[in-house]
Amino acid sequence: MIKKVGVAILGVGVVGGGTYQTLVQHHDFYVKTQQVDITVEKVLDRSVERMAQLGIPQECIAGNIEEIIANPNVDIVVETIGGIGVAKDFVTAALRNGKTVVTSNKELICKFSHELEKLAKRNHCGLYYEASCVGGVPIIRTLLDGVQANHIQSMMGIVNGTTNYILTKMTYEGADYTEVLKEAQKLGYAEANPTADVDGYDSMYKLSILSSMAFHTKIPYTKIFREGISSISAKDIAYGKELGYTLKLLAIGKNSGKEVEVRVHPTFIPKDHPLASVNDSFNAVYLTGDAVGDVMLYGRGAGALPTASAVVSDVIYAATHSDVKYSTFKNNATAEADIKFVSNFESAYYLRLTVADRAGAFAKVSGTFAKYGISIVKVTAEEGTTLILVTHTTKENAVKNALAKISENNLATIESVIRVEQ
C-alpha cells in the first residue's frame, strides 16, 4: 500500500531549493522504490523570485508559518533557513503542533537539540538532522544504524569544505592564505564573512553533534578546544610536506570511557593517511570502533544536491518508519557530571622557531624542551636561525609552558605551532 506524505519546506535557498527539486523530480522513483507518495504541500520563503525560478505553484506558496502548521496535509516540515533566530521559532512551532521536523541546521541542533527533542517526544513526532553534518555523507545514519554494535573509540573528520578547499590550494599551489580565501569567496565556497568556517566554529558545531552520537553522551560545543586556519602559512605547509605530512583542519574526538577529548584545529597527518587524500570541498569522517576497526565515509560536504540528498533521506526515513528514534544519551544542555573532558591532551607537535642570533641560544632552546619532558623526533635548521622541530607525543600544557619559557627568556620567536596526529 502506498503511503501519502505531505511536506512543507521552510526556505528555498541553496539547500531548500535542492530539496524541492529532488522531491519533485524523484517523486515517482520514491513511489516505486519506497512505497511513499511524497508531495510538497507548502513552501515558505521571502523571495518570490526564487520560488518562481524553481517553478513552485502559486497554491503551494505559504504566507506564514501558521498556515503550514495548521495544514492537516503537512506531515513533515523541512527547515533549511539556517541560524538560530526565526529558524528556531519555526521549528519549535512545528514540533509543538505534532509535525515531524527535518533540518540541515547544525547550529540549531548543536545548541538547542535538548529543547527541541523534548518537544518532539512530548508531541510524538520526529526530529531528524542528517544534513546538519558533512553534507551528503550519511554519517549520522551510520552512527545510528550502522556501527551501533561498537564502542566508538575515536573519530577524526574533515567536516568543513571551505577550509579544506583553502588548505588544498595552499598545499598544491603554494598560495598564500589571504589570496586563496579571496578566491574561495569569489567561487562561493566561502562567505563574505568567513569567520564560522575559517575560525573553526562550523567544525566545532558538527563535532559536538557527531561526538555526542558516537560516544553516547552529551558533548556541549563549549567543551571543544577550537583553533582555526587563519594563521597558517604556505611556508609551514611546505615544510610539513618535506617531513611527510599533509595539513588538514580536523575535528577530533577520542573516548576512553569516562574521559573524552574533543578538539578542532589544523593538524598535520602522515601523507599516506586516508584523510590526507581528501581534497578541495570534499569531506570525510574516519571512525574507529572496538569491533569494526577503522571505517571512513567520504563525499561532498556541501552543495545544493548533495545536502538535499541528506535532507530527503531523512524525509523518506521519517515517512517509512512509524517508530521514532531519539538520542541514545541524556540530551541535556550540559554534559553528564561523571564525564571528564581532557584539556591537557596528548599530541605530537610541529614547531617553527626563529632562534635568537647569539651564542648558546640553540642549546638553551633544546634544554628548555628537555626540562619540560619534551623529546624531539626531527630537527631541521633552515635559513640560518629558523628551527623546525617535530616532537614525540607529549602533553599540550608541557608544550605551552616550554614555549612560554622560551619566549620569556628571549631565546626564540615562536612562529608556528601545529599539532600532529600519527
244, 248, 251, 254: CA torsion to nearest 10: 0
| Catalytic residue from among 42, 106, 111, 206 | 206
C-beta of residue 249 within 8 angstroms of C-beta of residue 229: yes
Amino acid at 330: K
- Tell which residue, 104, 42, 17, 69, has the closest CA to residue 301: 104
The secondary structure element, H or E, covering residue 225 is: strand 225-226
Dihedral sign, CA of 101, 102, 104, 110? Answer: positive
Return the beta strands (E) in 256-407 as ranges: 259-270, 282-289, 293-300, 340-341, 346-355, 376-382, 386-391, 394-395
CA distance 186 to 202: 20
Q: Which three cell numbers stand for residue 316?
A: 523518506
Distances (CA, A) of 232 to 135, 160, 175, 290, 314: 25, 16, 11, 35, 37
**DSSP code, position 289:** E
**Helix (H, G, I), strand (E, B), or coil: what is residue 144?**
helix
Residue 230 CB neighbours (<10 A): 16
C-beta of residue 19 within 8 angstroms of C-beta of residue 311: yes
CA distance 164 to 137: 16
Residue 270 CB neighbours (<10 A): 14
CA distance 207 to 110: 9
- Tell which residue, 289, 252, 271, has the closest CA to residue 396: 252
Per the listing, cell 521571502 goes with: 46
CA distance 238 to 108: 38
147, 103, 30, 285: CA torsion to nearest 10: -30
Q: Is 121 noted as a catalytic residue in this protein? A: no
Q: Which three cell numbers stand for residue 101?
A: 521536523
C-beta of residue 419 within 8 angstroms of C-beta of residue 348: yes
Active site residues: 206
